[in-house]
Structure 1
Amino acid sequence: MAPPPAKLDEFVPHPVKEQFPGIDFCITSPPPWPEAIVLGFQHFLVMLGTTVLIPTILVPQMGGGDEEKARVIQTLLFVAGINTFLQGFFGTRLPAVIGGSFTYLLPTISIILSRRFIFIIDPYVRFVHTMRAIQGALIAASSFQIIVGFFGIWRIVIRFLSPLAAVPIVTLAALGLFYIGFPNLARCVEVGLPALVLLIFFSQVMNISQLIALNDCHSTGTLIAVSRFASATPVPPAIFSRGIGWQGIGILLDGMFGTANGSAASVENAGLLGLTRVGSRRVIHIAACFMLFFSILGKFGALLASIPLPIVAALYCILFAYAGSLRTKFILGFSLFMGLSVPEYFKEYEILAGYGPVHTRSRANC
């Protein structure tokens, strides 16, 4: 006799075809402590790239030197650790690293290049005034996400969010930032060109395209990937809305502490979940502890600030090129990785967004 159909509020397991093969540890099954510490440190190393790149772009344009850049890097690390804990305990509770985001670069640069700061001759004074303006803008912007998230407005918006709408936005944004790479690399070809060659070599050998071929138009897209890589459990729209609200709290902290940039879920760390097949929250919490620990070491921030700009520019040439080209493969690649055809993926996305034929919440069987 067939079992009765599941009620609306029951937690039912996913069919096997909807789960990723080979997941070693899901959200509720942490690995042993030695392995968790190693994986947490690996996540910390992955998020360091963005943590160094963003201040390297912004601080010199603000009038700051190496000392100011080191302080901004340490501040960004510290706030990233706090935001990762907040998202992990109170937000979506997914194993997502919350760090600096390139999404905020263009509006931040528009503030830096504002006419009111052109006439400030002293570089340090210009840095201070520009930082205050960016802090005020971030605090004002955070209120929007807080309202949209905690009042449940994002639950309605996510119903109309499609990968086809997100991919062109990300592609154009990546191509818009791509020009930053080669001019800065050309400032010191002796350093930048070998770094570019090595990055191209490792990108082909190690297949790092898996790390960034994800949809990061919104934190929502990254969190969808995180939920899949962690335990193959679709997240209800209400949880996404709550996560956006806590991300607004994170941006508020960015403005209060002075990171010169907003924060979002890290796409690189989401890709690392897929490569390691470990989606435990414990690992991400350990990574957040590393962020907080190293953020209070001044010498560590100075070491990161001393990385030559041509090496960072070589990263731009690779990462933004991948972002501009591989985002268009997101629908096909992600659906194939899930073992679904493209029509099945869109059907799954409709269910995930809350307007498909199935509305039951479920829990993974990992």
Structure 2
Amino acid sequence: MCSLFQHYLTMIGAIVSIPFILTPALCMAEDDPARSHIISTMILVTGIVTLLQTTVGCRLPLVQGGTISFLVPTLAILNLPQWKCPSDDVMNSMTYDDRTELWQVRMRELSGAIAVSALFQVIIGYGGIVGYLLKFITPLTIVPTVSLVGLSLFENAADAASKHWGIAVGTILMLTLYSQILVNVRFPVVTYRKQEGFQIIWFSLFKLFPVLLTIVAMWAICGILTATDVLPPGHPGRADTKLKIISDSPWFRIPYPGQWGIPTVSLSGVLGMLAGVIACTVESISYYPTTSRMCGAPPPPLHAINRGIGMEGLGTVLAGLWGSGNGTNTFGENVGTIGVTKVGSRRVIQWACVLMILQGIVSKFGAIFIIIPEPIVGGIFCVMFGMITAFGLSALQYVNLNSARNLYILGFSLFFPLVLSKWMIKHPDIINTGNDIADSVITVLLSTTILVGGVVGCLLDNIIPGTSEERGLDAWANEMALTVDTPDVDEDTDKEYIRNTFDFPIGMNLLRRWKWTSYLPFSPTYRPRPYPCCRSKKS
């Protein structure tokens, strides 16, 4: 039960920040109760997709939910001239129905783009193309793709933090204290088990919930500043600025597909969102072997990885159809929770999913997270986006940083996309081919930093001559080794693995009788030839 709530709270902490960037870009009013509906939708979809992933997907205890990676192309799309928000005077003169249609038409555009672009992930996953792609997705491709997710959003972090730098800096300091300095401080907790009776366990509170503890503590400080009128009425740092959202939100509301209207599809939106899909695919693949090691499970075989990526794509399709305004990706926060608690149970994650689904129906609960004072969110952004950037840079451990070739590729693929993106934002009408659709497509693609950075890094790394060792391909291949069969014994500890870890919960006898299922890349009975990127030189 304790592990269940640990994963549940970690899920919540990973989701709450996304609407603070998404909803203003959709032209939603700060006190619009529909903000709580969006976060409730995200929570509900997280529960549904994670339940599918752990049951018939990769079968690892991974959590699938909203991701920052989709915000970069989202902002690029909404920066197009036709989707920019009108002036404050125009918005203030609108009726409630007009304001609602203003943001819903944008949400429909995002929903269609997310759902259609995710079909690419479905195809490469269930089609078994992941292994071939890894031949070209090298560390110097991953670094700019993932790092630019964090670097591209620094202005959003600055805008939120600048509402009150004192509160934002306090949030940063407190989060640093909890997550880095007090990380090994444990608290005694009394537990009861039927076989062992009452026991005292030592609980790593700060290691597990640094973000949530920081939000609660700083929110309490904002409450004190509000009660003592240190902050003037209407100040973004006050705790009572958005209370109207809670009173206006219904107690119960069931999110459903197409709740904002039928999703619309445009070529520029789909191609832009494709950048987020690719970034999520690369990031998720790196979590699979890590999670397996933490759980004491065998390395995930090809069919499990194929199913995992395919199911993530299906989850993103569902997120688009449900109108969450975001896709799905593997939560690194929950992978870290497994490492801390040493509890890698699918059942725990699945029960946490049930809680998420129930919470997504209680609209008042989602409204609570929307009213977090904005400077607190700004402080969280500063740390969170920095960590995303660092996660991308961590792939440099595989490459030779003494190589002038690698430094050139790294520096240019990180710097040039930021330059191009800023220039495109300042000159949104610079692309003029005579065709509005072509103009929108080119503008979105050139404005999406993670796409430009990934393409530049991939092209340069595969064009400029360099040895496999210099490029980090040998070390990367060992880390991301894709196997056809699941080994029975851990080579390091000689410990036997639990057999059939990645099999379906039902129907395996039937699959084994049908020989043709061995040709399906997502079937546990899959028996392919090893991918070229996974073969050793001797073989």
Q: TM-score under structure 2 normalisation?
A: 0.54
How far apart, in 1, do the equivalents of 2:131 and 2:285 lie? 11
The one-letter code of the counterpart of 2:70 is Y
Q: CA deviation at 1:57?
A: 0.6
Q: How does 1:1-366 map to 2 (within 5 A)?
A: 37-65=1-29, 66-118=32-84, 121=91, 122=94, 123-207=99-183, 217-325=282-390, 327-329=392-394, 346=476, 348-349=478-479, 352-354=481-483, 360-363=485-488, 365=496
Distance in 2 separating the partners of 1:234 and 1:251: 25
**Aligned-pair Cα RMSD in Å:** 2.8
CA distance in structure 1 between the aligned counterparts of 2:80 and 2:207, rounded to whole angstroms: 36
Q: Given residue 100 of structure 1, which amino acid in structure 2 is its aligned partner? A: G
Distance 2:473 2:119 in 1: 37
* Residue equivalent to 1:12: none
Amino acid of the residue matched to residue 177 of structure 1? L
Q: Which has the higher contact order (CA 8 A, sep 6+)?
A: 1
CA deviations over 1:96-144 (Å, ceiling 9, x no partner) = 0000011111111122222223476543221110011011101211221
Secondary structure in structure 2 of the residue aligned to 1:47 = helix
Q: Aligned residue pairs: how many? A: 315
Distance 1:252 1:326, change over 3 A: closer
Q: 1:103 to 1:326 in 2, by over 3 A?
A: closer
Give the whole-Å Cα distance in 2 for the aligned partners of 1:129 and 1:347. Answer: 44
Contact in 1 for aligned 2:27/2:85 (Cα 8 Å): no
CA contact under 8 A between 2:171 and 2:376: conserved in structure 1? Answer: yes
Instruction: Tell whether the 8 Å contact from 2:157 to 2:379 is kept in structure 1 after alignment.
Output: yes
In the alignment, residue 2 of structure 2 is paired with which amino acid?
V
Paired residues of 2:10 and 2:209 also in contact (CA < 8 A): no
Offset at 1:295? 1.1
Q: Distance in 2 between matches of 1:252 and 1:360?
A: 30
1:55 Cα deviation after fit: 0.9
Q: What is the alpha-carbon distance in structure 2 between the residues aligned to residue 241 and residue 229 of structure 1?
A: 20
Is the 8 Å Cα contact of residues 41 and 290 (structure 1) preserved in structure 2? no
Matching residue's letter, 1:311: I
Question: Which structure: greater helix fraction?
Answer: 1
Distance 1:241 1:209 in 2: 32
What amino acid maps onto 2:352 in structure 1? A
User: Partner residue of 2:193?
Assistant: none
Cα drift, residue 169 of structure 1: 2.5
Task: Note if contact 1:99-1:266 (Cα within 8 Å) is conserved in structure 2.
Answer: yes
1:24 — aligned with what? Answer: none
| Distance apart, 1:220 and its partner CA | 1.0
Q: Does the Cα contact within 8 Å between 1:148 and 1:154 map onto a contact in 2?
A: yes
**One-letter amino acid of the structure 2 residue matched with residue 62 of structure 1:** L
For residues 159 and 362 of structure 1, do their structure 2 counterparts lie closer, same or farther at Cα, with a shift above 3 Å needed? farther
Q: String of CA shifts for 1:329-357, please: whole Å, max 9, x gaps.
A: 45759xxxxxxxx999646326x234xxx
CA contact (8 A) 1:211 1:270 kept: no
Task: Give, in whole Å, the separation in 1 of the partners of 2:329 and 2:14.
Answer: 11
C-alpha contact (below 8 Å) 1:211/1:271 kept by paired residues: no
> 1:294 and 1:210 mapped to 2: Cα distance?
21
Output the CA distance in 2 between the equivalents of 1:345 and 1:232.
Answer: 22
Q: Secondary structure at the match of 2:61?
A: coil
- How far apart in 1 are the matches of 2:69 and 2:53? 19
How far 1:162 moved relative to its partner?
A: 4.3
Q: Is 1:158–1:237's contact at 8 Å kept on the other side of the alignment?
A: no
**Do 1:63 and 1:124's aligned partners in 2 also have CA atoms closer than 8 Å?**
no
Partners of 1:206 and 1:330 lie apart in 2 by 27
| Cα drift, residue 167 of structure 1 | 3.1
Q: Aligned partners of 1:196 and 1:124: how far apart in 2?
A: 35
More deviation, 101-110/90-99: 101-110
Distance in 2 separating the partners of 1:209 and 1:174: 22
Quick check: which has more Rg, 1 or 2? 2
CA gap of 1:281–1:345, structure 2 versus 1, over 3 A, is farther
